[in-house]
């Protein structure tokens, strides 16, 4: 039986992951509007990943006999004026999501909910990768983004990214 606080945090995380998907779709739209198709692709794939993360939390609750509570997803409210803005916002957002995952882990640890802790282990590792990827993208943009030819090459690199669904099995 899952602890009520842990259940509430897991339910909230479904909503946060869906918001993340919306945020990344908004970033993808920004780059699409600016004819940077590779950047748009990169953030579109990010949105797919976040949607799947929400589904993993949902399925975890269901697997434990808990009916997930679906809440309204907030509309992204970021305004992007320069191409670097979505990248910085994405890196900041990934640090925020890491904090959310750690909070759930801490709550599970406090009640010795080892099953949930084991489930969250994958997300802890995933967040390390997400933060690293977001930071690398910011660094690459800072190195090359002001030069049109380099920006074009970076956009081409990002266009090559393909989606692969998470391999976490419940």
Closest CA to 115 of 170, 168, 52: 170
Domain hosting residue 38, numbered range = 4-159
Residue 36 covered by a domain: yes
State the CATH number of the domain containing residue 122: 1.20.1260.10
Residue 116 covered by a domain: yes
Looking at the 3D structure of the chain, how many domains does it have?
A: 1
Q: What is the pLDDT of residue 168?
A: 63
- Is 64 in contact with 126 (CB distance < 8 Å)? no
- Contacts of residue 135, Cβ cutoff 8 Å, sequence gap at least 6: 91
pLDDT, average across residues 25-50: 97
Residue 170 covered by a domain: no
pLDDT, average across residues 13-19: 98
Residue 146 covered by a domain: yes
Residue 117 covered by a domain: yes
The reported pTM is 0.94
The full DSSP string for the chain is ---HHHHHHHHHHHHHHHHHHHHHHHHHHHHHHTT-HHHHHHHHHHHHHHHHHHHHHHHHHHHTT------PPPPP-----STHHHHHHHHHHHHHHHHHHHHHHHHHHHTT-HHHHHHHHHHHHHHHHHHHHHHHHHHHHHHHTTSHHHHHHHHHHHHT----------
- Is 84 in contact with 145 (CB distance < 8 Å)? yes
pLDDT for 86-130, tens place per residue?
999 999 999 999 999 999 999 999 999 999 999 999 999 999 999
Residue 136 covered by a domain: yes
Residue 167 covered by a domain: no
147 — phi, psi (to 5°)? -95, 120
């Amino acid at each position: 039986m899952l602890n009520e606080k842990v259940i509430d945090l897991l339910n909230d995380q479904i909503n946060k992951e869906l918001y993340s998907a919306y945020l990344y779709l908004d970033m993808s739209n920004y780059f699409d509007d600016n004819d940077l198709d590779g950047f748009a692709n990169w953030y579109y794939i990010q949105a797919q990943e976040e949607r799947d993360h929400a589904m993993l939390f949902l399925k975890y609750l269901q697997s434990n006999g808990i009916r997930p509570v679906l809440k309204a997803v907030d509309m992204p409210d970021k305004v992007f004026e320069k191409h670097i803005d979505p990248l910085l916002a994405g890196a900041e957002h990934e640090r925020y999501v890491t904090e959310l995952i750690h909070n759930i882990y801490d709550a599970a640890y406090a009640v010795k909910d080892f099953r949930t802790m084991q489930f969250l282990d994958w997300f802890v590792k995933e967040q390390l990768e997400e933060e690293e990827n977001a930071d690398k993208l910011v660094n690459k943009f800072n190195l090359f983004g002001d030069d049109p030819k380099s920006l074009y090459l970076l956009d081409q690199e990002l266009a090559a990214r393909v989606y692969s669904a998470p391999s976490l099995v419940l």
